[in-house]
Chain A
Amino acid sequence: MTQPQQESVTQLLVAVREGNNEALNDLFPLVYGELRALAHRKRQAWHGDYTLNTTALVHEAYIKLVDQSHAEWTSRAHFFGVAAKAMRHIQINYAKHRHRKKRGGDVQKVSLDELSQLFEAETPLTEERAEALISLDEALSKLEQVSERQSRIVECRFFGGMTIDETAAALELSPATVKRGWAMAQAWLHRTMKEGS
């Protein structure tokens, strides 16, 4: 028995595998929504101070969203790639939210945002770090202009919490390419964030 949502995600993944890039765009909101919902439920199930384990979260979303009887390994890899991008958005949104909150801005508007519950970590996100994350996001968007591949690597590694090998599988690259791209992307992003060029 497959649920309708499962069906569509599975189909979209098949389309992605067949080279239909638009399917990626359709996939994104589904994955994003599920990740947020999952994270929210997790948060409520645990009453202690608790931080989400990104990899476990993504994996769970995958099990839930994809019809396992038809799933292929490449689908799983693609899914993780999309999920990494989704995690980037979730986390950056959170950072932006924190940033505004610290500035004393729209406190009212977002005080009930589930994100604040979601990521209320023991080590709080300081204002400085929230700013750094936002600036990373901007730099990453610039990197995307020059090297789509490297920006995807950063999403998987940094925001998706994926290992070199997982990233390689998700993006269909060799681990060595991921390693090299990750190294150079870090250097490039560091420079862009520090020097703004």
Chain B
Amino acid sequence: MDATRWDELETIFGQALALPPGERAVFLDTACKGDDSLRAELDSLLDHYEQAPDYFEDLADAVPMPGLSFTNKPAPARNDRDPYKLKGATVAHYRILEKLGAGGMGVVYKAQDTKLDRIAALKFLPPHLHADDQTRQRFIAEAKAASALDHPNICTIYEIGETDDGQLFIAMACYDGQTLKKKINSGTLSTGEALDIATQMARGLSKAHGKDIVHRDIKPANVIVTNDGVVKILDFGLAKMADVQLTQTGTTMGTIAYMSPEQTRGEKVDARTDVWSLGVVLYEMLTGARPFKGDYDQAIVYSILHEAPVPLTEVDPSLPEELEHIVELCLEKDRSLRYPSTADLLADLEVMTERSGSRSKSTTSAALRAMQRRKARLSRRVALAGGGVLLVLAAVLAYFVLQPSTPAGAEASAPEIHLAVMPFTSVEAIDPAYREGLRLTLTSVLTRMSQYTDVSLWIVPASEIGEEMKIAEARQLFGVNRVITGRVRQDSHQVSLDLDLSETEPIRQRSSVTVVESGDQETLMEAGLVSGLAELLEIPLTPQARRALTAGGTADSRAYKLYLQGRAALERIDQPESIDSAIQLFTFALEEDSLYALAYAGLGRAYVYQYEQTKDTLLIARVEQNSRRALDLDDRLAEARMTLGLLYIKTGDYDAAIREYDLALVLDSTNADIFLDKAYAYEQLTRLDEAETTYLQGLKVRPDYHRLYNKLGHLYLRSKRYEEAADQFRTITELTPDNIWGYNNLGAVYLYQKDYEKARRWFERSNAIQPNFLAYTNLSLIAFAEKQYSTAARMQEQAVALDPNNYIGWGTLARSYSRIPEERFKAYETYQKAIQLAKAQLEVNPNNARVPGLLAAYYRRLGVLYYGEKDHVNEARMYEQSLVYNESRSLVWNNLANAYSRIPEERHKAHSTYQRAAQAAEAERERTPDDVNLLYRLVRLYLTLEQPRQARPILEHALSIEPDHTGLMVEAGRLYEQLDDRETALGWIEKALQNGHAYDDIEEDSAFDALRADPRFQQIREQTPASS
């Protein structure tokens, strides 16, 4: 096997493993592209993988190596084993008796202290936690500080010792009892016990916090409840050491379910971090379930960061409401809203404990009053964080009006910086694409930087700032109050970038900074740019933030420069050759640095755009490969997640898209585009409420972003909330007067309301700014509705010229042609073109619900065209196709049956097809019982099938709705003929003719042969004026 094939095999294998087993087969079908031997190899390997990890883990036990874990998770506690093989050994002055347990923080043995003759627990720490001297010293210092804590609820530490060969251990008191984890799992905790345990934990933590020691890893496994019911908190200070490991390697030490939002973001922790974790533990003790859940780590983190837990009283209505508020105040995502200290929490818990002891106790303790104040604030926060929609927002506004003096009010009035990065200037030697790439990167860094500052900072997307745009325009178009301008310089040895931050009203420089890269580098590097921006805007960045902002970068200046040029090319996707050059530039960048994550992400993005334009299904795998590769290299790249989301939207896997967007939001919750695309996916799944909520969440992040208004407006339009829709679109025309979509969509609102005059005006304004497919198509639809078919055709020809790959464009055009006698001949191939494009669309996106309906319509209309030519064979074929895509329409079944009856060789199929048509019509009648056209069709069908008794009640109902319908009268005549009631039949025929029904209809209808021969009919005929 050659190396390329092996790599391909490995890539697909890895991708398949990442999927749930049920989805692998489908994935492999696509990924192997019909390569049977590749497929067989993968099936075989995946099959073996079922047993392989267990097998090797077992085998590894034979190799004397403790601490080896194959699953990349902390090794499970192996109570039956003794990995350090210490049993019976003597360590310092301890004789090891038995193993007590093991976890992420090491292995614990029960030991006899031979000096002091007491039982102790010895914890041996994993060697990687104190590998080098410095870490070791810090560890000892931390552990010593923690050992000074003397409190009944904190586990007593006897000493920190070292074995002869330098293995560190902690000797601590050994308690008879069990861990809280076990207690919770056994499911026997009462509310009273839970409250008591939480109170004791809060006491211990208060003591530690008083000495500035934060635990950082409060979780049930770190809490022992002795047989006397006394709580002992273990492992103070140890987590700090684990934390170093955590941030360095990006792997989690234990469960993350108890981690606070600030910990998941890698920020500094403080006492309130322990408050959060205690809140999680309390929630779990009370309900048996954890408040933040997920199937995988990222999902849990997402939940921690963004989701409000199910309120306690909703899980268990018997729980007191106050307790719910206590828990909610522990679990405030923003720690400034949490209990400021464990002492405050303790005060509330003690009040609760007292109350549960004697029910009559007054609740007006200072702590509870404070709690109620917080509760008021809390309900507002929950409303904002949760899925609440418009009504909730209204309530929030009311709250602001009533309580203007809350701290939150002050937050809202913080100055907002609304900033645009203007096009840079440069000396001649600088490639304009490179210069533009620098600006794009800077804008993107700034946008992400806004999440690391309390200042409300909005950045205008780079794509909105045209190359020629002036500061005054930016102020006018986007309402920016700050701009960054830049100038790229280059001399023989270095590149530099001068950045100025200015106010826009009036234009006045505030600060400036020069970013220099020396040492013969070809470009400025990202780290320097990040520092420069942080300095310019006076945003202090933590090392973590810095790392996140330069995630996926490169140290290779050539690669970086190529990447920047690629980025610039990606911004010009309106030009197809631009995508090709982006692909090329990213590929070159990867040749320079094959581990450059962002370049893979850029390549994936370029391919998704190419797929969008060409609909070439072969590109799907490339998008996935490159994006996955980017994430493999750096899992912090929200951009790559977004590309995958976009791909799955384009291929119709909306659930997968939503998953990607959720993961992207974990990485970057300030990016409004993620909300935009996620909401779109919800819309495609017709989960409209969730879509609306998502849009509104996005608007909270970016209230100036016209695309969010646009989509939200569309959603309202779809829900027939026209006024609200028009409001959104009007906002857009105000925000961005040169943006055609605002006008197009305002036009659409009027089109939906059939106000053609107003609609046409808006579409024409849109076309005046920039001729576009949508405006022309809608103008064509308006002309069609007004029966101006020729105008409709001309408008639609303009539309398809602008977007020749849009099947709807061709379908609409064909319909117009078919109404113009001299152009009807063009309708056939135009429909075929629409059908061909629609089928291709359906192939890549089988979930798009619109396509089958439209395909059915195109075939049906083709059938009608052939009918007009009396080509019934082709007519029948078209209806058959139409029914493949939509088998529920009785009209098509009816037409097909008619066509069959006109083809001698196929006549035998007519009867059963009429029956099928009647069934379909009955189904339709259940939905629309008063649709006279449908009832008329159904009556005719039953009479064609010679079932007059079925037809009769339907006919009577139809006539009661529309008594003047002459067609129904003729059917009544037919019905009574079939019932051998000539007298009544003649009566109905007479009535039909008197009401203007064409005599020819009856003359040509063989069903009336006998009736026409009746002398009474001759009489009627002579008396009827229409008979002449």
Contact of A121 among B64, B87, B89, B127 (CB under 8 A): B64
Given A53-B65, A53-B127, does the pair A180, B51 have CB atoms closer than 8 Å? no
Chain A 122-171 residues near chain B, CB threshold 8 A: 122-123, 125-126, 129-130, 132-133, 136, 146-147, 150, 157-159, 161, 163-165
Contact B82 A136 (CB under 8 A): no
Q: Which chain A residues border B631 with CB–CB below 8 Å? A: 176
Q: How far is the CA of A189 from the CA of B56 in the complex (A)?
A: 10
The CB with the most chain A CB atoms within 10 A, among B53, B59, B83, B85, is that of: B85
Given A48-B88, A184-B14, A188-B45, does the pair A158, B60 have CB atoms closer than 8 Å? yes
B1010 within 8 Å of A by Cβ? no
- Which of A17-25, A26-34, A54-62, A103-111 forms part of the interface with chain B? A54-62
Q: Which chain B residues border A121 with CB–CB below 8 Å? A: 64, 85
Contact B72 A164 (CB under 8 A): yes
Least CB separation from B69: chain A residue: A163
B68 within 8 Å of A by Cβ? yes
B175 within 8 Å of A by Cβ? no
A37 within 8 Å of B by Cβ? no
The CB with the most chain B CB atoms within 10 A, among A126, A146, A175, A183, is that of: A183
Q: Which chain B residues border A161 with CB–CB below 8 Å? A: 65, 67-68
What would be 22 A-B contacts, judged by CB atoms less than 8 Å apart?
Answer: A46-B165, A48-B89, A49-B88, A55-B127, A129-B62, A147-B10, A157-B70, A158-B60, A161-B68, A163-B249, A164-B72, A174-B632, A176-B632, A180-B10, A180-B11, A180-B17, A184-B9, A184-B49, A186-B55, A187-B13, A189-B52, A190-B55
B250 within 8 Å of A by Cβ? yes
B141 within 8 Å of A by Cβ? no
Contact of B14 among A52, A123, A183, A191 (CB under 8 A): A183
Q: How far is the CA of A33 from the CA of B88 in the complex (A)?
A: 31
Contact B85 A147 (CB under 8 A): no
Contact B632 A158 (CB under 8 A): no
Shortest CB–CB separation between residue B544 and chain A, in angstroms? Answer: 17
Contact B17 A183 (CB under 8 A): yes
Contact B17 A45 (CB under 8 A): no
Given A183-B17, A191-B44, does the pair A177, B65 have CB atoms closer than 8 Å? no
- Interface size bracket, A side: 35 or more
Q: How far is the CA of A187 from the CA of B69 in the complex (A)?
A: 17
Given A184-B13, A187-B46, does the pair A126, B62 have CB atoms closer than 8 Å? yes
A119 within 8 Å of B by Cβ? yes
Least CB separation from A54: chain B residue: B65
Contact A125 B250 (CB under 8 A): no
Q: How far is the CA of A157 from the CA of B46 in the complex (A)?
A: 20
Contacts A159-B63, A194-B48 aside, 14 further interface pairs with beta carbons under 8 A come to A42-B165, A46-B165, A48-B86, A51-B66, A53-B67, A163-B251, A180-B11, A180-B17, A184-B9, A184-B13, A184-B14, A187-B52, A188-B48, A190-B55
Q: How far is the CA of A51 from the CA of B87 in the complex (A)?
A: 12
Chain B 84-139 residues near chain A, CB threshold 8 A: 84-90, 127-128, 131
Q: Which chain A residues border B256 with CB–CB below 8 Å? A: none
Shortest CB–CB separation between residue B296 and chain A, in angstroms? Answer: 14
Shortest CB–CB separation between residue A17 and chain B, in angstroms? Answer: 15
Q: How far is the CA of A91 from the CA of B63 in the complex (A)?
A: 7
Q: Which chain A residues border B85 with CB–CB below 8 Å? A: 48-51, 121-122
Q: Which chain A residues border B633 with CB–CB below 8 Å? A: 174, 176
B595 within 8 Å of A by Cβ? yes
Q: Which chain A residues border B65 with CB–CB below 8 Å? A: 51-54, 161
Q: How far is the CA of A174 from the CA of B633 in the complex (A)?
A: 6
A179 within 8 Å of B by Cβ? yes
B983 within 8 Å of A by Cβ? no
Q: Which chain B residues border A136 with CB–CB below 8 Å? A: 59
Shortest CB–CB separation between residue A110 and chain B, in angstroms? Answer: 18
The CB with the most chain B CB atoms within 10 A, among A54, A157, A176, A186, is that of: A186
Q: Which chain A residues border B49 with CB–CB below 8 Å? A: 183-184, 186-187, 190
Q: Which chain B residues border A147 with CB–CB below 8 Å? A: 3, 6, 10
Q: How far is the CA of A165 from the CA of B83 in the complex (A)?
A: 22
Contact of A158 among B10, B56, B87, B164 (CB under 8 A): B56
Contact B59 A186 (CB under 8 A): no
B829 within 8 Å of A by Cβ? no
Contact of A52 among B17, B52, B64, B131 (CB under 8 A): B64
Count chain B residues whose beta carbon lies closer than 8 angstroms to a beta carbon of A. 54
The CB with the most chain B CB atoms within 10 A, among A45, A95, A176, is that of: A176
Contact of B45 among A123, A158, A187 (CB under 8 A): A187
A interface footprint on B442-475 (CB within 8 Å = 1, 0 otherwise):
0000000000000000000000000000000000
Q: Which chain B residues border A45 with CB–CB below 8 Å? A: 164-165
Contact B45 A163 (CB under 8 A): no
Q: How far is the CA of A55 from the CA of B83 in the complex (A)?
A: 14
Contact A122 B10 (CB under 8 A): no
Q: How far is the CA of A181 from the CA of B6 in the complex (A)?
A: 11
Q: Which chain A residues border B90 with CB–CB below 8 Å? A: 48
The CB with the most chain B CB atoms within 10 A, among A50, A53, A126, A181, is that of: A53
Least CB separation from A39: chain B residue: B64
Q: How far is the CA of A159 from the CA of B842 in the complex (A)?
A: 51
Contact of B131 among A59, A186, A190 (CB under 8 A): A59
Contact B632 A177 (CB under 8 A): yes
Contact B632 A133 (CB under 8 A): no
Q: How far is the CA of A163 from the CA of B70 in the complex (A)?
A: 8
B1 within 8 Å of A by Cβ? yes
Least CB separation from B11: chain A residue: A180
A interface footprint on B916-934 (CB within 8 Å = 1, 0 otherwise):
0000000000000000000
Q: Which chain A residues border B72 with CB–CB below 8 Å? A: 163-164, 179
B61 within 8 Å of A by Cβ? yes
Q: How far is the CA of A130 from the CA of B61 in the complex (A)?
A: 11
Q: Which chain B residues border A163 with CB–CB below 8 Å? A: 69, 72, 249, 251
Q: Which chain B residues border A95 with CB–CB below 8 Å? A: 62
Q: Which chain B residues border A91 with CB–CB below 8 Å? A: 63
Q: Which chain B residues border A54 with CB–CB below 8 Å? A: 65, 68
Query: Which are the 7 A-B pairs with shortest beta-carbon distances?
Result: A176-B632, A180-B14, A48-B89, A129-B62, A190-B52, A186-B52, A187-B49
Q: Which chain B residues border A49 with CB–CB below 8 Å? A: 85, 87-89
A interface footprint on B747-784 (CB within 8 Å = 1, 0 otherwise):
00000000000000000000000000000000000000
Q: Which chain B residues border A46 with CB–CB below 8 Å? A: 89, 165
Q: Which chain A residues border B69 with CB–CB below 8 Å? A: 163
Contact A187 B48 (CB under 8 A): yes
Q: How far is the CA of A180 from the CA of B63 in the complex (A)?
A: 23
Q: How far is the CA of A54 from the CA of B83 in the complex (A)?
A: 12
Q: Which chain B residues border A56 with CB–CB below 8 Å? A: 127
Contact B595 A174 (CB under 8 A): yes
Q: How far is the CA of A175 from the CA of B595 in the complex (A)?
A: 12
Least CB separation from A193: chain B residue: B55
Q: How far is the CA of A186 from the CA of B55 in the complex (A)?
A: 9
Contact A129 B59 (CB under 8 A): yes
Q: Which chain B residues border A158 with CB–CB below 8 Å? A: 56, 60, 63, 68
Shortest CB–CB separation between residue B554 and chain A, in angstroms? Answer: 13
Least CB separation from B51: chain A residue: A190
Q: Which chain A residues border B60 with CB–CB below 8 Å? A: 158
Shortest CB–CB separation between residue B266 and chain A, in angstroms? Answer: 16
Least CB separation from A53: chain B residue: B66
Q: Which chain A residues border B128 with CB–CB below 8 Å? A: 55
The CB with the most chain A CB atoms within 10 A, among B13, B90, B635, is that of: B13
Q: How far is the CA of A147 from the CA of B56 in the complex (A)?
A: 19
Q: How far is the CA of A55 from the CA of B127 in the complex (A)?
A: 8
Shortest CB–CB separation between residue B2 and chain A, in angstroms? Answer: 9
Q: How far is the CA of A186 from the CA of B17 in the complex (A)?
A: 13
Q: Which chain B residues border A42 with CB–CB below 8 Å? A: 165
Chain B 164-182 residues near chain A, CB threshold 8 A: 164-165
The CB with the most chain B CB atoms within 10 A, among A125, A175, A179, is that of: A175
Q: Which chain A residues border B63 with CB–CB below 8 Å? A: 91, 125, 133, 158-159
A interface footprint on B72-86 (CB within 8 Å = 1, 0 otherwise):
100000000011111
Q: Which chain A residues border B59 with CB–CB below 8 Å? A: 129, 132-133, 136
